[in-house]
A = this chain, B = another copy of it.
Amino acid sequence: MTTPDRWVRFESAQGPRQGYIEGETIVPIAGDMFGDWRPEADPVPLTGARLLAPVIPPTFYACGINYAGHWRTAAEEFGLDLDKSWPKYPEVGYRAQSAIIGPGDPIILPADVPPNVQVEGELAVVIGRRAKHVRPEDALDHVFGYTIGNDVSARGWQFSDRTFWRSKNADTFKPLGPWIRRGVDLDSLVTRVSVNGELRESFPTNRMIWSIADYIAAITRYITLIPGDVIIMGTDGHCPQLNPGDTVSIEIEGIGTLSNPVVAE
């Protein structure tokens, strides 16, 4: 058996299960994908399986502005001060477990959400090994793998509220998936954001202001990361608007594609 490089959570008759992808099947495991595990039940066909968010992070981190292109467009579009909005050191915010959905699940726009809900296509880093006081050069040893996050953002609320509670954490606003990919060459990744099949933005995924290693080192100076924690790394360029009836897809070449329909509450 080769080491599995794509890991999933999926709906089964016994509830959510973990497994890995082998050919056109999912092999369910016993144990914990981040620790001791073994193949358990018979493989199930990947086609027709309902994939869930591949991990539910105990703590869910989000990098703010972390790409030069998004820094410029966000400053223009939202009237931010260009100097003040440049990230002078790696800092994180939080997203909520409560907002997570899986691939294919609908993003539901609340009845009274102000216009201009936008997609933010992001690389999601999944921690695999406990980390505290980690040096940048050792940081990636603590990464289990990578998936895709959509940091759906209601811009009206984002600028009217004190925090990002409903702007970024309304129910269904945090799609994650479709799987966790291991053995990724970060520099080869390209992120592509499409709405209804039309490409709207693309960027080299790893061309960040602060690197994944920088963030892990900064966080773990004060905070312990544990297996399953997720860090979404920010987005670049313009963020297309989402409307009911749309389907939004975020492809990261080398990882996969996260697609979700958009519906009105």
- Asked if residues B96 and A169 are in contact (CB atoms below 8 Å), the reply is no
A110: chain B residues within 8 A (beta carbon) = 221-222
Q: Contacting chain B: which of A15-23, A157-165, A182-190?
A: A157-165
- CB pair A169–B98 under 8 Å, yes or no, is no
Closest B residue, CB atoms, query A93? B163
**How distant is the Cα of A61 from the Cα of B94 in the complex, in angstroms?**
11
Cβ-based interface call for A166 (8 A):
yes
Task: Tell me which residues from 223 to 254 in chain A have a Cβ below 8 Å from any Cβ of chain B.
Answer: 223-226, 229
Q: Which residues of B contact A222 (CB under 8 A)?
A: 110, 165-166, 170-171
Asked whether, in the complex, the Cβ of B59 is within 8 Å of the Cβ of A96, the reply is: yes
Contacts of A166 in B (CB 8 A): 222-223
State how many copies of this chain the complex holds. Answer: 2
A87 and B165 alpha carbons, distance in the complex (Å): 15
| Interface residues as binary, A71-114 with B (CB distance below 8 Å gives 1, 0 otherwise) | 00000000000000001000111101111000000000010000
A209–B262 alpha-carbon span in the complex (Å): 36
Contact B224 A171 (CB under 8 A): yes
From B94, B163, B171, B223, contact of A170 by CB (8 A): B223
Q: How far is it, in angstroms, between the C-alpha of A59 and the C-alpha of B98 when the chains are bound?
A: 6
A195–B96 Cα distance when bound, in Å, is 33
**CB-defined interface of A142-168 with B at 8 Å, one 1/0 digit per residue?**
000000000000000000011101100
Q: Is B171's CB under 8 angstroms from A93's CB?
A: no
Asked whether, in the complex, the Cβ of B163 is within 8 Å of the Cβ of A92, the reply is yes
The smallest beta-carbon distance between A86 and chain B, in angstroms, is 11
Check: A256 CB closer than 8 A to any chain B CB: no
* Residues from 18 to 59 in A contacting B, C-beta threshold 8 Å: 58-59
Q: Are A94 and B165 in contact (CB under 8 A)?
A: yes
A residues bordering B, Cβ < 8 Å? 58-59, 61, 64, 87, 91-94, 96-99, 110, 132, 161-163, 165-166, 169-171, 219, 221-226, 229
Can you list 13 residue pairs at the A/B interface with Cβ under 8 Å? A58-B97, A59-B98, A93-B163, A94-B163, A94-B165, A96-B223, A98-B223, A110-B221, A132-B171, A165-B223, A166-B223, A169-B223, A170-B223
